[in-house]
Amino acid sequence: MSPANTSSLGRDAGLECLQDSLLDSLQKVETLLHEDANAFPLIGSVSKYILDSGGKRIRPMLVLLIARYFGELTRQHLSLAAAVESLHTASLLHDDVLDDATVRRGRASVNRRWGNITSVLMGDYFHTKTLRLLVKLEQPEVLNIISKATTCLIEGEIMQFDSKNNWAAGEPQYLDIIRKKTGVLFQAAAQAAAVVAEASIDIETSLKKFGMHFGLGYQLVDDLLDYTGLPGQLGKTTGNDLAEGKVTLPLIYALSQNKIDRSRLAEAVNTQDEEELAHAVKAVRDSGGLEYTRNMIKREREKARDCLNELVSNDSRSKLAELSDFALMRSI
Ligand code: FPP
Ligand code: MG
């Protein structure tokens, strides 16, 4: 048995059937993700810790299902699937430092357990692992798609950082940020999988658009759950966005409806007064902002479905729809 097996996968009742149908390939992806981490014990320990923390491997599954849609699953698709997950892992290791997170996937985040320096360097480690996996593909177009996506991820994070505590930030600015920080990676994964399969330009475009709607919906769900989720269910702390001054859609809606007093909100975030923060979260919940966000998630899900309908119907197309439904219905 390889050092990794699929027991490291985050299992979820809604996802198990799909994971089971891809088990053999997912196991190979796990092996690629875990290998080459033994240059120094700390690298091995942190790498194993983050990879075995119960990630659901949604992005690798997206790549693998697209590969299957076209027929035989190739070695290239396995490397791409691992590369995309490795990039996602890198981004979480950096993100938890930026957000000063304490919990990720139900346990102490790497920054919490080993400190910020280790988390940043391990993020760099996984970022360069992504590059090594992609170089092996010998497909400059794929390298181009994923490296452009990485730039977008960083742009999205910088834009988000810059808009912290900006209570005047509106929906277009928010959508721009989540498109870049989350949508683009789903889009790039889907497009690159189509390129590796030598898809026609029309199908590549449909899959690319599917990836973007899927990714946008995914981040909207994440931002909704920050107001509605139970920590045990999410594997991370909730109610953080508002306290951190992160202006996401539920809050943008509440502000647009004048359901929240801006100066009281600014003061609450400034002083971190728990009662005042709880009052603001309740005001967002009561404002209709959650319903508004849920409606946008539904629309992204429908648009994702429409893109899939541009593909011929087969078992993998149905599974792609199942995957996006699973991810976008967690909150509804
Ligand atoms: C999670 O958002 C974070 C992202 C979607 C992207 C983070 C990207 C970076 C930090 C840039 C990474 C750079 C390289 C080179 C890899 P969130 O904080 O809203 O979600 P969370 O609640 O899961 O933390
Ligand atoms: Mg975060």
Cβ-based neighbours of 234, under 8 Å, separated by 6 or more: 225
Contacts of residue 56, Cβ cutoff 8 Å, sequence gap at least 6: 9, 10, 12, 15
Ligand nearest the Cα of residue 93 is 1
Q: Which of 93, 181, 212 to mutate to test the pocket of ligand 1 (most atoms within 8 A of CB)?
A: 181
The confidence score (pLDDT) of residue 6 equals 63
Token match 């899927």: residue? 214
**Which ligand has the nearest atom to the CA of 122?**
1
β-strand partners of 103: 108
Give strand pairing partners of 104: 107
> How confident is the model over 244-262, as a mean pLDDT?
96
CATH topology of domain 11-329: Farnesyl Diphosphate Synthase (1.10.600)
Averaged pLDDT for residues 131-140:
96
pLDDT of 85-127, one tens digit each? 999 999 999 999 999 999 999 999 999 999 999 999 999 999 9
pLDDT tens-digit readout, 47-77: 999 999 999 999 999 999 999 999 989 999 9
Mean pLDDT of the chain: 94
Residue 14 — pLDDT band, cuts 50, 70, 90? confident
Q: For residue 1, what pLDDT band results from cuts at 50, 70 and 90?
A: very low
154 lines ligand 1 (CB under 6 A): yes
Ligand 1 centroid to Cα of residue 127, in Å, is 13
Where does the pLDDT of residue 4 fall: very low under 50, low under 70, confident under 90, or very high at 90 and above? Answer: low
* Residue 42: HSE in the Cβ half-sphere, 13 Å Cα cutoff: 10
Distance 94 CA to ligand 1 centre (A): 7
CA distance 191 to 199: 9
Q: Which candidate, 18, 95, 105, places its Cα nearest to that of 55? A: 105
Whether residue 99 has its Cβ less than 6 Å from ligand 1: yes
Where residue 2 falls among pLDDT bands split at 50, 70, 90? very low
